[in-house]
Copies of this chain bind each other. A is one copy, B any other.
Amino acid sequence: MSGQLEGQRVLVTQCTDYMGPPIAALFEAEGAEVIPSKGILRSDEQVRALVEDAGPLDIIAANLAIDPSGAKVGEIEDQGWSALFAAMVDPLMWLVRAAAPGMVERGAGKIVAVTSAAPLRGIPGVSGYCAARGAQNAFVRAAGLELAPANVQFNAIAQNYVSNAEYYPPEHVASERFQRHLKHNVPAGRIADPRETAELALFLASQRSNFIVGQVVPFAGGWVTTT
C-alpha cells in the first residue's frame, strides 16, 4: 500500500514530540510532503508565519502536547494549569484560525488533532489536563461541524495508553504493576505503538474518510469507547 497522500502538503506540529515522529514518517511514506514544525507553538504570530511560509496546506496534523502535570484539585498550580491551555488549547485555535480559511476557499482540507481520551472518562488527579484536552475536543466538534459544509474535515484522535517517552517511560511500562494495571483497565491488554496512532491519523487525513467530521475518535484499546 502506498501513495495515499501523494502530493499532499502536510504541516506536522511538534514534529519531534509525542505522536509527531510516527505521523511524519507514515505520511511521508504515503507520498506526502511534510512541513515540520518543532517545539511547542508559543504565539499566534509564530503560527501565522508558519502557515504563511508553508503555502497552501492540504492537511494539518495538529499534534500538541505537554507534560500532563498531574495535581490533586487542591494543589493545582497556576503555572502548570496555564501551561496546559497555552500549549494545547490556544495553538489549536491559532492553527485553525490561520489555515482553515484557505482550506475553505480551496474547497478541501483535512485537520487531524491528536488529543486525549482522558476527558472522556475523567481521571482523578489530572483534572487540569482533562480540562485542557476537553477544551480541544469540544473545539474540534464545533469547528469541525462549522467547516464540514466547505469540504474541510476536522477530527480528533482521543488517545490513551499509546506508548511515548513523555507519558509512558519504558521502565514504567515494563513494571509488573503497570502490566497488571493494563490487564485490569485496557481490554486490549497492552499499550499501543505510536505507529497505530499514525495509521488512524492517515485514515482521517485521507480521502477515504470524507464523511467523518467534527468527531472525537476514542483510541484507547477499549479503556473508553463511544457510548
Contacts and interface: CB of A to CB of B under 8 A. Distances in A.
Interface of A: 1-4, 44, 72-76, 78, 81, 85, 89-90, 93, 96-97, 100-101, 104, 118-128, 130-139, 141-149, 162, 183-184, 187-189, 192, 196, 199-200, 203, 208-222, 224-227
Contacts of A139: 127-128, 130-131, 134
B124 A145 contact: yes
Given A74-B97, A192-B211, A218-B226, A142 B120 contact: no
B216 A209 contact: no
Given A145-B122, A148-B221, A211 B226 contact: no
The count of identical subunits is 4
A127 to B, nearest CB: 4
A211 B215 contact: no
A227 B225 CA distance: 10
| Pairs A-B, 3 closest by C-beta atoms | A134-B138, A122-B141, A124-B146
Contacts of A217: 217, 226
A192 B119 CA distance: 25
Contacts of A73: 93, 96-97, 100-101, 143, 146-147
